[in-house]
Every structure is written in C-alpha cells, then in structure tokens.
C-alpha cells in the first residue's frame, strides 16, 4: 500500500509539469528506487516493459505531431525539415497532412509525451515494488466479481505466455505447413482454449475455498452498494478531470470530487460490512512505511502548491522557444521521493535451497 501511495504522489507531481528536466528527474528517482527495492518475483520484472511502453508513447506522440503539424506561427518558427504536403478536401479544414516540421511543435509534443510516459512509469514502479495480488487484498468485498476477474487475469497472463511458448514449440512437431493466417490460428486456438480452461478452474478453486462468502447480505444492500460505488466513481472521475483540466471547470471539479469520494467511501463501507474476512500476517505499517508515503506526498504537495505561482518554470514555453529552467524548490521536492531507496525495508528474499535440475 505504501508503495502505491508513493507512486500516486509522484504521478500527481508529474501531471502538473511539462518541464523536461523535472520529468526526467522523476523518472530517474523511479529508476533508482525500483533498482534498489524490488523483489525477485515475476511481477517485479514488469518495470522494464513499462519503460518500453513509455518510450513508445513518446515516439508515437512526436511522429503524429510531425505528420499532422498544423500550428505554424510565422515569426518564430525554426523549420527542421519539410514533409511533402498533401492537400486535403475542404471539409477537413483544420487538419493538415505533411508540411513543414517545426522545432517548436516537435518539442512541445516531446514534453507532452514525456509527461504521459512518466505517469506510465509511476504505475510500473508501483507494480514492480508491491505485489499486485497483495494490493488486491484490501479490495472490499463489495467488488467480488471484479476481484475474481482481476486475480484470474493476473494469474493467467503469465501462464498464457508460457503456454504460447509451449504450443509454438509443439507446432514444429507437425511441421510448419501453411501461411501466416494458418500459423496464427494453430497457435492461438490451443493457447486460448488452455487459458479459458485455466481461468474457469482458478475461479472454481477460489469459490470452493470460500472467496466472497456473502454472509448476511440481502439482495437490496448488495444493489445499494453497487449504485453507491458506481455513482461515486463517476463523481471521482468528473472531479479529477475538472481539477486537472484547469480550463474553467475547476469550480465544478472540486465539489464533484468531494461528493464522489463520499459516495464511493460509503459504498465501500457498506460493502465491506457485509463480508467478514481477516488477514493473515498483515503487512506491518511502521516508520519506513510512513517515510515512503511522505516521500511521495511531498513532491505532489509542493508541485501542486507552486502551480499557481510559477507556471512558467513548470511549463516552459515552446513559442517562443525558451531553454527550460530548473526550478529549485520542485526539484528538491522530487529528490525527496528518492529517500525510500534507502529508507524502505529491503524485500524479503526467500531462503532458497540449491536449485534442482528441471526438465
């Protein structure tokens, strides 16, 4: 839980700025902490793939901006190179295909992409540092069906990769006759059938071990919980959008967030009241956990706080082109987030006997 709060804090901090120096700083902090404090479990290796995904997001963003260029301000442009301009029919006015690619446009696309990429890396870091299944344990009983679906998905996804490898190897035994479509089908059909079988068996196993015992819940309280949760979530989304968008809906954003939060909270409370469950050896919540959470909250608070005062430093202008400056206070705040790399307890490494030979 502490790691998730920490990552959310950093994500909030990242969403307030497009300053590439600050964003790169956040990424560096994530990288350091993950490298120092992740376990050897399979989910911990996921961070790498999140980084790849982030890079892909930046690349796509820049390429699209280059092709659909558009906003050329005549006085300050630095044209990098010019793509062949393709005239579009008049009903597509406003959309431009090809044309000059400007340094300004490319940079602003790069900054935007970087922000999105940093958010992705935050999620990746949380995933790598905390076992997603343990995080799911705090999921209230009201969300029974959702819980089953997520646990099944989390367990079956790695097995899917494994069985895909197995089937691909098995295909060699039958020879590789046929075209591309044929090959795809001969792998996909057995793999998907296998995955479906496994999911059903896992869900059956969870059920027969008592997952989601309804206790004394009535049909009505069940429905009430659902309605409360759903409207609460809608409110939360609206509120978050209103706050982050910043283009005028802020007056609506804050109340919506508040109402949504209260509704969702009530739903959770009602839902968890009807399910009785205990926790075996719960993760301890001590000083290191507090430090971790605080280290995430500090950058979020500082960056949200300074948004009002120094917009220029956080969102460096690209028109006219300015070299991004390094705002000192936010940078220090972000560095605070690196503290868990040494302060958090190192992950438990299982005592492992000598590995036996496996076929």
Partner 1 sequence: MIEFDRVTVSYPDASSPVLRNVTFTVEEGELALVVGRTGVGKSTLLGAVNGLVPHFTGGTLAGRVVIDGRETRTHKPRDLADVVGVVGQDPLAGFVTDTVEEELAYAMEQLAIPADVMRKRVEETLDLLGIAELRDRPLHELSGGQQQRVAIGSVLTAHPRILVLDEPTSALDPTAAEEVLAAVTRLVHDLGVTVLLAEHRLERVVQYADRVVEVRRDGTVATGDPAAMLATTAVAPPVVELGRLAGWDPLPLSVRDARRRVDPLRRRLADRPVPLPRRGRATGATGATGAAGAAAAAAAGEVALRARNVVVRYGPVVAVRGVDLDLVHGEVVALMGRNGSGKSSLLWALQGAGPRQTGLVQVGGTDPKSLPPAKARGLVGLVPQTPSDLLYLDAVGQELAQADREAGQAREAGQAREAGQAQELAAQPGDTLMTARELLDRLAPGIPDGAHPRDLSEGQRLSLVLAVQLSAAPRVVLLDEPTRGLDYAGKRSLVGIVDQLAAEGRSVVISTHDVEFVAAAADRVVVMAAGDVVADGPTPDVVVASPAFAPQTAKILAPLEYLTVDQVRTAVRTAAGEG
The set of residues, in sequence order, having a beta carbon less than 8 Å from that of 177 and lying 6+ positions away, is none
Among 8, 32, 139, 155, binds partner 1 (CB under 8 A): 155
Point out which span in 19-27, 117-125, 168-176, 339-347 binds partner 1 (CB under 8 A).
168-176
Q: Where are the alpha helices (DSSP H) in 174-286?
A: 180-208, 219-245, 250-274
Residue 212 sits in the site that holds partner 1 (CB under 8 A):
yes
- Report the nearest approach of partner 1 to the CB of residue 225 (Å): 18
Q: Which residues contact 4 (CB under 8 A, 6 or more apart)?
A: 126, 130, 135
Residue 49: CB minimum distance to partner 1, A: 19
User: Is there binding between residue 219 and partner 1 (CB under 8 A)?
Assistant: no
Burial class of residue 167 (count of CB atoms within 10 Å of its CB; 0-12, 13-18, 19+): middle
Q: Is 41 in the site for partner 1 (CB under 8 A)?
A: yes
Helix (H) or strand (E) holding 83: strand 79-86
Complex with partner 1: residue 20 or 190, whichever CB lies closer:
190
With beta carbons less than 8 A apart as the criterion, state whether 78 and 318 touch. no
Sequence-distant (≥ 6) Cβ neighbours of residue 151 within 8 angstroms: 133, 136, 202, 206
Q: Please state the closest distance from residue 130 (CB atom) to partner 1, in A.
A: 12
- 24 vs 13: CA distance, rounded Å: 12
Beta-bridge mates of residue 81:
101
Provide DSSP, 156-192.
HHHHHHHHHHHHHHHHHHT---S-HHHHHHHHHHHHH
Q: Which stretch binds partner 1 (CB under 8 A): 30-38, 56-64, 79-87, 208-216?
A: 208-216
> Binding to partner 1 (CB under 8 A): which residues in 178-207?
185-187, 189-190, 193, 198, 201-207
Using CB under 8 A as the binding rule, whether residue 151 contacts partner 1 is answered as yes
284 binds partner 1 (CB under 8 A): no
**Is 8 or 202 the residue whose CB approaches partner 1 more closely?**
202
Q: Among residues 32, 103, 167, 244, which is the contact residue for partner 1, using CB under 8 A?
A: 167
Within positions 309 to 348, which residues make up the interface with partner 1, using CB under 8 A?
348
Q: Are 43 and 127 in contact (CB under 8 A)?
A: yes
Alpha carbon 119 to its chain centroid, in Å, reads: 6
CB-nearer residue toward partner 1: 209 or 220: 209
Dihedral angle, C-alpha 155, 347, 31, 342, nearest 10 °:
160
- What 3-state DSSP class applies to 269? helix
In the list 95, 176, 320, 323, the residue contacting partner 1 (rule: CB under 8 A) is: 176
CB of 170 vs partner 1, minimal distance in Å = 4
Which of 87, 94, 179, 210: binder of partner 1 (CB under 8 A)?
210
Binding marks (x or -) toward partner 1, 116..145, rule CB under 8 A?
A: ---------------x-x---x--------
170 vs 342, beta carbon nearer partner 1: 170
According to the binding rule CB under 8 A, does residue 174 interact with partner 1?
yes
Is there binding between residue 222 and partner 1 (CB under 8 A)?
Answer: no
Q: How far, in Å, are 4, 5, 120, 338 from residue 294 at the CA level?
A: 12, 9, 21, 11
Element (H, E) at 74: none
Which residues bind to partner 1, rule: CB under 8 A?
Answer: 41, 131, 133, 137, 151, 155, 166-167, 169-177, 185-187, 189-190, 193, 198, 201-214, 276-282, 348, 350-353, 355-359
């Amino acid at each position: 839980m502490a790691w998730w709060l920490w990552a959310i804090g950093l994500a909030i901090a990242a969403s307030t700025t497009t300053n590439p120096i600050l964003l790169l700083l956040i990424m560096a902090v994530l990288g350091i902490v993950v490298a120092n404090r992740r376990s050897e479990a399979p989910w911990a290796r996921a961070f790498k793939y999140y980084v790849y995904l982030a890079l892909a997001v930046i690349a796509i963003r820049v390429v699209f901006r280059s092709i659909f260029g558009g906003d050329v301000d005549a006085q300050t442009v630095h044209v990098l190179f010019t793509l062949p301009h393709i005239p579009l029919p008049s009903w597509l006015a406003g959309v431009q295909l090809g044309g000059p690619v400007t340094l300004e446009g490319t940079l602003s696309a790069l900054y935007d992409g970087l922000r999105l990429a940093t958010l992705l890396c935050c999620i990746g870091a949380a995933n790598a540092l905390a076992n997603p299944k343990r995080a799911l344990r705090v999921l209230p009983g009201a969300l029974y069906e959702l819980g089953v679906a997520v646990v099944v998905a989390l367990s079956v996804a790695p097995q899917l990769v494994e069985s895909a490898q197995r089937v691909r190897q098995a295909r060699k035994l039958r020879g590789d006759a046929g075209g591309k479509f044929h090959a795809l089908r001969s792998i996909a059909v057995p793999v998907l059938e296998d995955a479906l079988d496994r999911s059903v068996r896992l869900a059956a196993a969870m059920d027969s071990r008592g997952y989601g015992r309804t206790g004394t819940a009535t049909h009505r309280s069940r429905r009430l919980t659902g309605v409360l949760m759903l409207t609460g979530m809608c409110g939360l989304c609206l509120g978050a959008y209103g706050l982050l968008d910043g283009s005028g809906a802020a007056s609506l954003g804050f109340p919506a967030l508040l109402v949504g939060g209260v509704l969702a909270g009530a739903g959770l409370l009602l839902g968890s009241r009807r399910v009785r469950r205990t926790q075996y050896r719960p993760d301890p919540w001590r000083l290191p956990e507090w430090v971790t959470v605080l280290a995430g909250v500090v950058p979020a608070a500082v960056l949200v706080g300074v948004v009002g005062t120094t917009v220029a430093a956080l969102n460096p202008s690209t028109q006219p082109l300015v070299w991004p400056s390094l705002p000192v206070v936010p940078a220090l705040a972000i560095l605070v987030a690196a503290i868990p790399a040494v302060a958090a307890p190192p992950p438990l490494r299982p005592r492992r006997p000598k590995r036996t030979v496996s076929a």
